[in-house]
Chains A and B, each alone.
Chain A
Amino acid sequence: MTTTPVLEAVDETLETQGKPPLNVIYEWLTTVDHKKIGLMYICYALLFLVIGGFEAVLMRIQLAIPNNHFVSPQVFNQLFTMHGTTMVFFMGMPILFGMGNYLVPLMIGARDMAFPRLNAFSFWVSAFAGFLLYFSYIGGSGLYAAGSAPDVGWFAYAPLTSKVFSPGHSTDYWTLAVFLSGIGSIGTALNIVTTILCMRCKGMKMSRMPLLPWLYLVMSGLVFVAVSPLTAAQIMLTFDRYLGAHFFDTQAGGSAILWMHFFWIFGHPEVYVLVLPAFAFANEIIPVFSRKAMFGYPAMVAASVAIGFISLSVWAHHMFTAGLGPAGNTFFVFATMVISVPTGIKIFNWLATIWGGKIIFAVPMMFMVGFLFQFLIAGLTGIMLAAAPFNWQLSASYFVVAHFHYVLVGAIVFSLFGAFYYWYPKVTGKMMDETLGKWHFWLFLIGFHLTFDFMHIPGILGMPRRIYTYEDGRGWNTLNFIVGIGAIFQAVGTLILVYNMIRSYYKGKEAGHDPWDAWTLEWSVPSPPPSYNFAIEPTVNSRRPLWDLKHPEDPDTDYE
């Protein structure tokens, strides 16, 4: 078949070769194209991944041997605050929004997001917020006195954030950065929901939509009800600090526990805001590399929606040690246990998809297997922590840190890396290098397990989190040293990924439009996709339109 004239015309507008660099920069800065915005999100998030990872390595160097004086206590506080904030708000959210921005319109057969200009606005607000956070290193205490990053923890518990305990402006930079990142997130979530509900191509009923947009829909819904409370709480905190209000000021009858509630009403659903996209990637990648349709599509959708709702009612399991009383504790223990049911359904469905499939162990699939395995373990330690008495014992110990990194790194980052390898050919038109990819995978996997498996043990042995150093002779030394080695492995693995991405862009094999023999609409357009994506708006009549094209003798429609 030949290209249609429409497609050629569109292609011309994409042409950047031979344009003066200034024009290209100008084009990127002013773009409203969802793919470019998605890429900008991803690049800026990768930058923060490297920064946040660097902070993690510094922390682990400090903790590798007892009585270390590599960094001071203040600097350590700043490190874990900046690391946590960076990773959650300026790596996790933007990178997932970036992927969503890029993929959702392509997968639902739309030409752009519903509100392209709002999209650009949200991006720039979030990006500005990230730079604001790091600007505190320059402008944090008084005018341009260096080295005063926020040090109140990424949860910023009251009364640590009051003027008395944190003078200077570092906390204000933190508040503003989080507030603005919230505005950006809400804007993007609004855009994603509207795009999915109003821009689907002909024939794509909700029941035919790929699972990735479905999960982004649930995730965006969660953003509205989870991120907004945080935004509200930041407004209150700013009033306290600047106008002398008393929301969280215990001296005037205000309550520090109220801040905890507000923070965790955001904080727990936030975990699902981050993990639902990770599920979404798994939902697209696992079937393709098992050469089987996703098992239990309706159950997957139902479980995701259920997770969205239940996750709103479990926040206080972060507060068992704050003294909520038996009735409160029981409720939150119970709710937390309930959420493992839909999660279990998902794991079961992924396994059933892999079961009996012709599995292809390309790099994306390898990351997915890592994701599945580690997510399962994280779920198990999570259930341990959900039991209030157990939690009293382990709360604020390194066991908790190990548990949540199992989710954040073991599940989310693994799935994200898999997604990078999977969609990179679509985005750049080039394949990523498989050998480098395998090096990345194995180094990261080994590093991950060295770090986070061993981190559980000092936690059980009583090592508290957020300490800048510890005494010799507690039995923690060797363990912490191993944990540190693992962190370095992971760092090297990530640098290999970055190198691989840059190298493949110039030297990679041509990918063609459908290198994985996949089934969803994004693989029907050239790689990289032209602006406006589709020359002719597509029409679909099954869940796997490309499968039907390639296998007219066995179309999906027969099974739905």
Chain B
Amino acid sequence: MTTITTASRIPIDGPIETPWKLPYRGNVGMACLIIAESAIFIIFVVAYIYYIGKSLSGPTPAQVLELPILGTICLLSSSIFVHLAVSSLRKENYRGTTLHLGITVLLGTIFLATTAKEWYHLIHDEGLTIKTNLFGTTYYSLVGLHATHVVVGLIMLSLTLVLSLAGRVKEEHSEKLEVLSLYWHFVDAVWIVVFLVVYVLGR
């Protein structure tokens, strides 16, 4: 047992299913992250639903919330553009990639701006803060958690955009960009849930 034997013996010749192909780890990792994040969001959504109408004092959602139509349209359509960015990159259409990434970042920023405007209005004109009542508590937490995810996504997308402008994003990076786009799609999907719960069900 002094010499190392089996290490070099292990490859046994045998029928192996060819080709031996395993999933790309970026995608699997992102899928895991999305599952974990979904669980976090579910807890916040459950808390939101549980506390609908339980606030002991005003203001109520019906009094102060308005449907964020513009922001929603921007965010949802940005999903299409990030998808286009990935497929342009696959086709080695680098200018298309840059363009579509740029539009994605722009649309995401507009969404963020509408949220900021809404919060400004709520805090300044309506006096609703996280302390005011249960509605404030759950509203700012849930929407804030989502906005945090948008910010993170925007940072990553902007970095990619900068790299792309510098001509550093190439066809071989398309798998990675796809992982990022998965994240962005997830953020969008969460927004649909938040929108339904907060602005439709909650009012």
A-side residues, CB < 8 A to B, are 1-4, 7, 114-115, 186, 189-191, 193-194, 197-200, 202-203, 205, 220-221, 223-229, 231-233, 235-236, 239, 243-247, 252-255, 258, 262, 265, 512-514, 521, 523-526, 534-541, 545-546, 548-549, 557
Residues of the A chain whose Cβ atoms lie less than 8 Å from the Cβ of B8: 1-4, 7, 535-536
B55:A197 contact, CB within 8 angstroms: no
- Kindly identify, within residues 1 to 50 of chain B, every residue whose CB is under 8 Å from any CB belonging to chain A: 1, 3-12, 14-17, 20, 22-25, 28-29, 32-33, 35-37, 39-40, 42-44, 47, 50
Distance between B170 CB and nearest chain A CB, rounded to angstroms: 22
| CB contact between B28 and one of A3, A198, A225 (< 8 Å): that residue | A198
**Known A229-B43, A545-B10: A253·B54 in contact at CB below 8 Å:** yes
A198:B22 contact, CB within 8 angstroms: yes
B-side residues, CB < 8 A to A, are 1, 3-12, 14-17, 20, 22-25, 28-29, 32-33, 35-37, 39-40, 42-44, 47, 50-51, 54-56, 130-131, 133-134, 136-138, 140-141, 145
- A541 to B130: give the CA distance in the assembly, Å: 59
Residues of the A chain whose Cβ atoms lie less than 8 Å from the Cβ of B50: 255, 258
Residues of the B chain whose Cβ atoms lie less than 8 Å from the Cβ of A235: 141, 145
- 11 intermolecular pairs with C-beta atoms under 8 Å apart: A3-B7, A4-B8, A221-B35, A231-B40, A236-B44, A253-B55, A258-B50, A514-B6, A539-B10, A540-B10, A549-B6
Distance between A215 CB and nearest chain B CB, rounded to angstroms: 17
A189:B137 contact, CB within 8 angstroms: no
| CB contact between B11 and one of A221, A227, A538 (< 8 Å): that residue | A538
**Known A252-B133, A262-B43, A538-B10: A526·B36 in contact at CB below 8 Å:** no
Residues of the B chain whose Cβ atoms lie less than 8 Å from the Cβ of A225: 35-36, 39
| Chain A, residue nearest B11 (CB) | A539
Distance between B59 CB and nearest chain A CB, rounded to angstroms: 15
A513:B1 contact, CB within 8 angstroms: yes
- A4 to B32: give the CA distance in the assembly, Å: 38
B6:A513 contact, CB within 8 angstroms: yes
B7:A7 contact, CB within 8 angstroms: yes
Extra 5 A-B pairs, beta carbons < 8 Å, given A236-B44, A513-B5, A521-B10: A232-B44, A252-B133, A253-B133, A254-B137, A512-B1
Residues of the B chain whose Cβ atoms lie less than 8 Å from the Cβ of A223: 36
A539:B7 contact, CB within 8 angstroms: no
B9:A1 contact, CB within 8 angstroms: yes
Distance between B41 CB and nearest chain A CB, rounded to angstroms: 8
- A194 to B27: give the CA distance in the assembly, Å: 9
B7:A236 contact, CB within 8 angstroms: no
**Known A203-B14, A239-B137, A243-B130: A1·B28 in contact at CB below 8 Å:** no
- A265 to B1: give the CA distance in the assembly, Å: 50
Residues of the B chain whose Cβ atoms lie less than 8 Å from the Cβ of A200: 22
- A199 to B22: give the CA distance in the assembly, Å: 7
Residues of the A chain whose Cβ atoms lie less than 8 Å from the Cβ of B20: 202-203
A115:B29 contact, CB within 8 angstroms: yes
| Chain A, residue nearest B42 (CB) | A229
Distance between B194 CB and nearest chain A CB, rounded to angstroms: 14
- A138 to B102: give the CA distance in the assembly, Å: 50
Distance between B168 CB and nearest chain A CB, rounded to angstroms: 21
- A254 to B130: give the CA distance in the assembly, Å: 13
Distance between A368 CB and nearest chain B CB, rounded to angstroms: 25
- A415 to B42: give the CA distance in the assembly, Å: 34
Which of B3, B29, B136 has the most CB atoms of chain A within a 10 A radius of its CB? B29
- A221 to B39: give the CA distance in the assembly, Å: 12
B32:A224 contact, CB within 8 angstroms: yes
B22:A229 contact, CB within 8 angstroms: no
Residues of the A chain whose Cβ atoms lie less than 8 Å from the Cβ of B15: 541
Residues of the A chain whose Cβ atoms lie less than 8 Å from the Cβ of B141: 235-236, 239, 245, 247
A3:B17 contact, CB within 8 angstroms: no
- A73 to B29: give the CA distance in the assembly, Å: 47
Distance between B136 CB and nearest chain A CB, rounded to angstroms: 8
- A129 to B189: give the CA distance in the assembly, Å: 32
| CB contact between A525 and one of B7, B32, B51, B134 (< 8 Å): that residue | B7
